[in-house]
Amino acid sequence: MGKTTLAAHVAALLARAGLPVVALDLDPQNALRLHLGLPLWEPAAFTAHIAQRPNWRECLVQTESGVRVLPFGPGDAVRAMGVAQALTTSPELLAEPLREMLAVPGLVVIVDSPPGPNPALAAISALTDILVMVLLADAGSAAVIPQIASNRILGRGTLAARVGERAVMVLNQVENGNPLSEAVLDMAQNALGPRFLGVVCRDLGVAEALADRRMLLEGEPGAGEDLLVLTEALAKRLRTAAPGHGAPGYGAAPPNGTPWGRA
Ligand SMILES: Nc1ncnc2c1ncn2[C@@H]1O[C@H](COP(=O)(O)OP(=O)(O)O)[C@@H](O)[C@H]1O
Ligand SMILES: [Mg+2]
């Protein structure tokens, strides 16, 4: 769908703009670290050990992109289910370290979630400034756009509605000139208005770059340019989400202690 690709690129582009960025992987696929340039055999783990209350600062891994990553960690399905179970009973296991991260002045935390509703996302959703939903420009997305617009996709009741206010949507793998793609794009823009954050086109260069272990950070035509525009839009939202701190424009390093919020 593109969640991990987008999370990695937004994190790396914000780091490039001079912000301190931590990328937190909640998905047992453990792929975020690969997108940020770490090797397959990298053993570091954070989320996989969450029940043992690991110290997040000690689990940070520096990447060439400038982003420090908290990998999920290697493991099998049994471990993944153990983590989900632990977070269902004790969401604080994850909420507490995230709260600590967010208390670090200026630190931006980008979180990569597993697909769909899951205990890890539920544990942290109340703490997020912005929740980015990534959808493909296909018929399946057309069916859920009205649910996103009404916040029904996040559940029922006041809590879901409050999270919904912070939820924005990105359409990934949009194909220029493809009638279905264009129809879904029109529909998303009309139904979501300002909660429609942006578009990333389908570009073979995305998968090629990952295979070559490099990132699309130069804003080259295609997905590279779209990811840059998307990051700018997100940075603008983050400044609005954490108002009153006089944060500078995107591209400039923030003065010490400027909170930029987090996604
Ligand atoms: N805009 C895009 N154009 C072409 N391929 C893409 C694009 N975005 C993602 N992909 C590819 O789709 C696959 C899934 O992407 P990924 O970011 O891992 O999705 P998710 O985290 O939602 O499972 C990967 O092979 C990725 O390279
Ligand atoms: Mg993923």
CA of 9 to the centre of ligand 1 (A): 12
Question: Which domains are assigned to the chain?
Answer: 1-127 (3.40.50.300)
Q: Is the C-beta atom of 172 inside 6 A of ligand 1?
A: yes
Sign of CA dihedral 152, 156, 160, 165: positive
DSSP 19: -
Ligand nearest to the CA of 8: 1
CA of 244 to the centre of ligand 2 (A): 33
CA of 202 to the centre of ligand 1 (A): 9
pLDDT in tens, 80-133: 999 999 999 999 999 999 999 999 999 999 999 999 889 999 999 889 999 999
Q: How confident is the model at residue 141 (pLDDT cuts 50, 70, 90)?
A: confident
Q: Is the C-beta atom of 202 inside 6 A of ligand 1?
A: yes
CA dist 130 and 133 (Å) reads: 10
pLDDT in tens, 54-65: 999 999 999 999
> Considering the chain, what is the average pLDDT of its residues?
88
Among residues 179, 122, 170, which one has the least CA distance to residue 148? 170
Of ligand 1's listed atoms, the one at least distance from the Cα of 6 is 17
Q: Is residue 70 within 8 Å of residue 103, measured between CB atoms?
A: no
Please state the rounded mean pLDDT for residues 60-77.
Answer: 96
**Residue 243 has what pLDDT?**
55
CA of 156 to the centre of ligand 2 (A): 26
DSSP 172: E
Q: Is the C-beta atom of 28 inside 6 A of ligand 1?
A: no
- The gap from C-alpha 172 to its chain's centroid, in whole angstroms, comes to 13
pLDDT in tens, 93-105: 999 999 999 999 9
**Residue 246 has what pLDDT?**
31
Q: How confident is the model at residue 261 (pLDDT cuts 50, 70, 90)?
A: very low
Q: Is the C-beta atom of 25 inside 6 A of ligand 1?
A: no
**Residue 81 has what pLDDT?**
97
